[in-house]
Structure 1
Amino acid sequence: MKKFFGFNKLLASVAVIASVMIFQSCLDDDDNGYYRYAQPNALVTVKPLADNSFFMQLDDSTTLLPVNMKNSPYGEKEVRALVNFEQVNESSGEYDKAVHINWIDSILTKPIAADLGDENDEVYGTDPVDMINDWVTIAEDGYLTLRFRTVWGDRSQAHFVNLLMSKNAENPYEVEFRHNAFGDVYGETADGLVAFNLDALPDTEGKTVKLTLKWKSFNGEKTAEFDYCTRKSTPASSAAIAAGRSVLRLK
């Protein structure tokens, strides 16, 4: 099971990250019950199956079978999601654990963006962000999930975030985070949460390699490294990544 922390800082984020939150149980009346159910206790990949059912990948070695939800709320889409669940004493079949989902909330999940050459800056933007050291900032199950912080003034303006392949011919596992605020560069700071599917990267064939993330911060260009293996879980390790909370509207 993963280690989770910073739940109180994540509460504000959960209400805004996605437009739909699915509740499967009522909250307890006491404060402990409230926080038990209101806070996410896992970051998962929701994986739909051919019969319209689904399971959840908790990490590279743990699969979860939801016993109280037959169909995926995201249809045929494979997405990353925050979830609050409880393990139950029921048959999990071919999966590792049977769970009851209290609520599940999808994260914006995107592929690596196409290289547009000279148009990259215009389309994908060059607006700065700070990367946040949080339990959801992780390379896991074929995805790079990132929490980042930037300026957000106009709450009706969605910010455009993308991941590009690096042009470093010597390192095929180098990627670049891009942010286009569409001029919304004044106001309060807020955090965003996004997951990128890394299947466009070369298969590591079971080996663990260094995945380098580049981004433009408010203090200049920065990088961080993740230990990365195709469909394998590893957190970020870099002093360039700060600590954090909250969220903004993304696309």
Structure 2
Amino acid sequence: MQKKLFIIGLAIIGILLINTGCDDNSKSLGNFGIDIATIINEGDNAYSLQLDNGKRLWPAAKAVNFLPTNHQRVLVNYTILSDQKDGYDHYVKINDIWKILTKPVIELNAHNEEIIGDDPIKTNSIWISGDYLNASFMFNYGGKQPHAINLVENKLRPDTDKDVIELEFRHNAYESQSDKLYEGFVCFDLRPLRVMNSDSVMISVKVKEWTDKTYSDTREKIYDVVYRYNQPALQAGTEIPIPVTTSDEYY
């Protein structure tokens, strides 16, 4: 199992609230929008972008080189060049694009329990958009080694509710000793969790969080969300937290 950490360094300023709808005023080359999107591989290193509100963008012009990976989540800075064309909602110019840590949901079992870890973490928000569960979180980083962030289906405990998929947001700090918080952002692919003969499924995400600034006591926090297949989860005008990233981000 390949483990990654999305560590936000000092170059990460914080959380930026933005509008997820395409703004027609951004057609001027001096204007731009910033959104989370999913890469759709179109072949021969060509790609399109699927926004979380369902809109499809075609990169007709690019200011940066980017090697696409199918279903990779990205943060994209773009300028709208046209309205609907050739099946896309907009042709756009890509001003900049950054990969977001994108991982599958994995099974927690007796063989990987220690590696997965169960260290506390602080979640800012957890929500579903498109086929992904997105998490904005805070964690203590002491610079010892990269931490591990995972979303797991715990096979070490019996099922409690067959109508709900119970997941756990897990953190391994590798004994990092620090009271300084850093910001992280990660997306998890939910497509393998689809249930046959249904158009949606309930998901419950358990998080082990600190209760105070001393990081000594913990509590269990539960996020209950609905995963609706092939449907945009966000409407135009919805505000969502998006990380302010730079090329200095660490994985």
Q: Look up the match of 1:50.
A: 43
**Which secondary structure state, in structure 1, belongs to the residue aligned with residue 110 of structure 2?**
helix
Per-residue deviation at 1:60? 5.2
Per-residue deviation at 1:166? 4.2
Q: Look up the match of 1:149.
A: 138
State the one-letter code of the partner of 2:146: A
CA contact (8 A) 1:59 1:232 kept: no
Per-residue deviation at 1:233? 3.6
Any idea what the Cα deviations from partners look like across 1:14-65, whole Å, max 9, x if unmatched? Answer: 9xxxxxxxxxxxxx9xxxx7xx76xx72110011112321000002531111
Any idea what the Cα deviations from partners look like across 1:64-109, whole Å, max 9, x if unmatched? Answer: 1111139982334421111111211277312111111111111011
CA contact (8 A) 2:83 2:91 kept: yes
Q: Look up the match of 1:73.
A: 66
CA contact (8 A) 1:149 1:192 kept: yes
- 1:175 paired residue among 153, 167, 190: 167
CA contact (8 A) 1:52 1:72 kept: no
Structure 1's unaligned 5+ residue stretches are 1-9, 15-27, 236-242
CA contact (8 A) 1:152 1:184 kept: yes
Shifted more, 68-77 versus 95-104: the winner is 68-77
Give TM-score scaled by structure 1 length.
Answer: 0.71
For residues 149 and 74 of structure 2, what CA distance do their matches in structure 1 show? 17
Structure 2's unaligned 5+ residue stretches are 1-10, 16-28, 211-217, 235-240
**Which secondary structure state, in structure 2, belongs to the residue aligned with residue 41 of structure 1?**
strand
Q: Look up the match of 1:162.
A: 150
Q: Look up the match of 2:226.
A: 227
Give TM-score scaled by structure 2 length.
Answer: 0.71
Residues 49-198 of structure 1 mapped to structure 2, 5 A cutoff: 49-59=42-52, 61-69=54-62, 73-89=66-82, 92-115=85-108, 117-133=109-125, 137-154=126-143, 157-167=145-155, 168=159, 170-198=162-190
Structure with the larger strand share: 2
For residues 197 and 83 of structure 2, what CA distance do their matches in structure 1 show? 35
Shift in CA distance, 204/227, structure 1 to aligned 2, threshold 3 Å: farther
**Which secondary structure state, in structure 2, belongs to the residue aligned with residue 61 of structure 1?**
coil
Does 1 or 2 have the higher relative contact order (CA < 8 Å, sep 6+)?
A: 2
**Which secondary structure state, in structure 2, belongs to the residue aligned with residue 200 of structure 1?**
helix
State the one-letter code of the partner of 2:181: T
Shift in CA distance, 185/230, structure 1 to aligned 2, threshold 3 Å: farther
Structure with the larger helix share: 1
**Which secondary structure state, in structure 1, belongs to the residue aligned with residue 107 of structure 2?**
coil
Number of aligned residue pairs? 209
For residues 90 and 231 of structure 1, what CA distance do their matches in structure 2 show? 23
Q: Does 1:213 align with 2:191?
A: no
Shift in CA distance, 50/71, structure 1 to aligned 2, threshold 3 Å: farther
